[in-house]
């Protein structure tokens, strides 16, 4: 009977798959746990945002606009227009070839400048020894004389706005050429760079270099006598159907502003200037305000960088016996920007800030057409101030 019962249990267990086995421990390494198959969620695609559309369109525009590469050391061409008198028989790019005396003729040429990728913004380490590193030093590589027709033919063919730079007081020719190349490189400027170099600078003698008042008198006289040459340049810009970005510094405004005023009188609403950028204008403040509206007829926008800390402006105010616009003065038609917070006067006169990182960073945005209120580090000035905006640190 007992045997029969055991057989029945055995048959039933066999039918159910056999005798029960010991459950393995979850700590056993031999256990393979098969995870459940995940359930795929439905794909969620966020709707396009304003940022997506903006970046997509900007990426295409950016790629088409920034063609020239400035991420490495570069040999950069500086087109030169100058009424400095030749010291040698031919055009060149050094102080040995063009001096500080005024010429009745205007000369045209091009200088090829090595701009090193390792230079600090605003600083120029120049060498005449071509064995020195091209990544560390500015070098003059080549020069070529041009005719006026050659130069403007080249400008037309580039189909980009030229950047025209007019230097200031006590700047010798060689320094002006190098400075133009530095500004163009640090701005990553995509069009041609043109230097208008007038006879500024002290004489070659030691005593002449020390006599600042004599140098100021001579440079101011040369500046006023260079207005006609710059007006002729503006006329050629108009006749060649060009538009330019124009940057001036210091005493260079004694040439640029009167020439623009006369040009506007003869050619009202001839919009030959895209952006007019004026740095530390050594120009009478009241006179500037009086002619600003006329100048603006030929300009999309006027931007002025000024500073309370500019010691050169203080000296000029004493010499000229009137306030200078480079020390800041308000005009409704001008974007005047006080850079006193960033011009580092402890390093010098506080007058050479125009080629520094802070100013060029803002100029870069100006050249892209961005309004002052929307540019980085720009804030409005307090009511009844001598400027519209401040450039913050």
pLDDT reported for residue 210: 57
Q: Are strands 335-338 and 299-306 parallel, antiparallel or unpaired?
A: parallel
pLDDT reported for residue 45: 82
Q: Tokens representing 384?
A: 């009844």
Rounded distance, CA 251 to CA 241, Å?
28
Q: pLDDT per residue over 273-328, tens digit each?
A: 999 999 999 999 999 999 999 999 999 999 999 999 898 999 999 999 999 999 99
Q: pLDDT per residue over 6-65, tens digit each?
A: 444 444 444 444 544 555 544 455 555 567 777 676 777 888 889 988 898 888 898 889
* Helices (runs of H) and strands (runs of E) counted in the chain: 11, 11
Name the E strands within 14-135.
Answer: 74-86, 98-115
pLDDT reported for residue 211: 66
pLDDT reported for residue 93: 98
Rounded distance, CA 195 to CA 137, Å?
21
Full 3-state SS string of 211-237: CHHHHHHHHHHHHHCCHHHHHHHHHHH
pLDDT reported for residue 8: 43
Q: Tokens representing 333?
A: 């038609």
Q: Tokens representing 168?
A: 């200031």
DSSP 118-169: TPPTT---B-S-TTS-TTT-BEEEEEEEE-HHHHHHHHHHH-S--EEEE--T
pLDDT reported for residue 37: 74
Q: Please, what is the average pLDDT of the chain?
A: 89
pLDDT per residue as tens, the chain (393 positions):
444 444 444 444 444 445 445 555 444 555 555 677 776 767 778 888 899 888 988 888 988 899 998 999 999 999 999 999 999 999 999 999 999 999 999 999 999 999 999 999 989 999 999 999 999 999 999 999 999 999 999 999 999 999 999 999 999 999 999 999 999 999 999 999 999 999 999 876 644 555 688 899 999 999 999 999 999 999 999 999 999 999 999 999 999 999 999 999 999 889 999 999 999 999 999 999 999 999 999 999 999 999 998 989 999 999 999 999 999 999 988 999 999 988 765 445 577 889 999 999 999 999 999 999 999 999 999 999 999 999 998
């Amino acid at each position: 009977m007992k045997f029969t019962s055991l057989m029945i249990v055995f048959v039933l267990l066999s039918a159910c798959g056999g005798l029960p086995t010991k459950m393995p421990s979850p700590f056993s390494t031999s256990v393979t746990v098969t995870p459940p198959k995940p359930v795929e969620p439905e794909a969620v695609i966020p709707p396009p945002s304003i940022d997506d559309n903006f970046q997509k369109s900007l990426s295409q525009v950016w790629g088409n606009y920034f063609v020239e590469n400035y991420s490495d050391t570069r040999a950069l061409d500086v087109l030169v227009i100058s009424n400095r008198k030749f010291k040698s028989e031919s055009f060149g790019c050094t102080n040995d070839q063009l001096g500080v005396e005024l010429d009745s003729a205007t000369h045209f040429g091009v200088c090829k400048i090595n701009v090193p990728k390792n230079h600090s913004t605003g600083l120029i380490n120049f060498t005449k020894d071509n064995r020195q590193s091209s990544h560390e030093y500015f070098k003059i590589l080549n020069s070529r004389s041009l005719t006026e027709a050659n130069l403007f033919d080249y400008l037309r063919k580039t189909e980009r706005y030229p950047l025209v730079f007019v230097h200031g007081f006590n700047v010798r020719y060689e320094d002006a050429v190098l400075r133009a190349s530095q500004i163009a490189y640090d701005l990553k400027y995509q069009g041609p760079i043109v230097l208008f170099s007038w006879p500024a600078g002290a004489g070659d003698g030691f005593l002449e270099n020390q006599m600042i008042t004599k140098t100021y008198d001579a440079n101011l006289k040369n500046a006023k006598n260079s207005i006609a040459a710059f007006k002729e340049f503006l006329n050629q810009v108009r006749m060649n159907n060009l538009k330019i970005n124009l940057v001036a510094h210091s005493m260079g405004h004694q040439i640029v502003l009167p020439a623009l005023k006369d040009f506007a009188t003869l050619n009202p609403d001839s919009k030959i200037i895209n952006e007019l950028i004026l740095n530390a204008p050594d120009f009478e403040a009241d006179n500037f305000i009086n002619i600003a509206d006329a100048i603006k007829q030929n300009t999309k926008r006027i931007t002025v960088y000024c500073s309370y800390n500019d010691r050169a402006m203080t000296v000029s105010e004493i010499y000229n016996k009137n306030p200078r616009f480079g020390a800041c003065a308000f005009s409704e038609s001008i974007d005047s920007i006080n850079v006193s917070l960033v011009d580092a006067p402890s390093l010098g006169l506080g007058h050479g800030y125009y080629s520094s990182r802070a100013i060029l960073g803002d100029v870069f945005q100006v050249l892209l057409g961005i309004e002052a209120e929307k540019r980085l580090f720009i804030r409005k000035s307090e009511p009844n101030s001598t400027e519209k905006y401040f450039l913050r640190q």
